[in-house]
Copies of this chain bind each other. A is one copy, B any other.
Amino acid sequence: METVSTNKSHHGVQGVYKHTSSVTGTEMTFSVFVPNHAEGAKLPVVWYLSGLTCTHANVTEKGEFRAACAELGLIFVAPDTSPRGEGVPDDPEGAYDFGLGAGFYVNATQAPFDQHYKMRDYIEKELPDLIASKFPVDMSRQGIMGHSMGGHGALTIGLRNPDRFKAVSAFSPIVSPLNCPWGEKALTGYIGSDKSTWREYDSCALLEDGARLPDLLVDQGTADNFLEKELKTHLLVEACSAAGQKAEIRMQDGYDHSYYFISTFMDQHLVWHAERLG
**Is there contact, CB below 8 Å, between B264 and A9?**
yes
Find the residue from A14, A223, A254, A260 having the highest chain B CB count within 10 A.
Answer: A260
Q: Which of A46-54, A58-66, A151-159, A167-175 contacts B (4 or more CB under 8 A)?
A: A58-66
**Is there contact, CB below 8 Å, between B67 and A261?**
no
**Is there contact, CB below 8 Å, between B11 and A264?**
yes
- The answer to whether A64 and B64 touch (CB under 8 A), given A9-B263, A260-B8, is yes
CA distance A183 to B260 in the complex (A): 35
Interchain nearest-CB distance for A36 vs B (Å)? 11
CA distance A223 to B221 in the complex (A): 40
Interchain nearest-CB distance for A237 vs B (Å)? 22
CA distance A223 to B7 in the complex (A): 10
Interchain nearest-CB distance for A205 vs B (Å)? 32
Cβ–Cβ < 8 Å partners of A62 in chain B:
61-62
**Is there contact, CB below 8 Å, between A66 and B7?**
no
When all copies of this chain in the complex are counted, the total is: 2
Size range of the chain A interface in the assembly: 20 to 34
CA distance A261 to B11 in the complex (A): 9
Is there a chain B Cβ closer than 8 Å to A3's Cβ? no
Q: Which of A242-263 contact B (CB under 8 A)?
A: 254-256, 258-261, 263
Cβ–Cβ < 8 Å partners of A11 in chain B:
264
User: Which B residue sits closest to A259, measured CB to CB?
Assistant: B61
- A-B contacts besides A8-B261, A64-B67, A66-B260, 12 pairs, CB < 8 Å: A7-B260, A7-B261, A8-B254, A8-B264, A10-B263, A10-B264, A14-B260, A61-B259, A62-B62, A66-B264, A67-B263, A67-B267
Q: Please, could you name 22 A-B residue pairs with CB atoms under 8 Å apart, sorted by A?
A: A7-B256, A7-B260, A8-B221, A8-B223, A8-B256, A8-B260, A8-B261, A9-B255, A9-B260, A9-B263, A10-B263, A10-B264, A11-B264, A14-B260, A61-B61, A61-B62, A64-B64, A64-B67, A64-B263, A66-B263, A66-B264, A67-B263
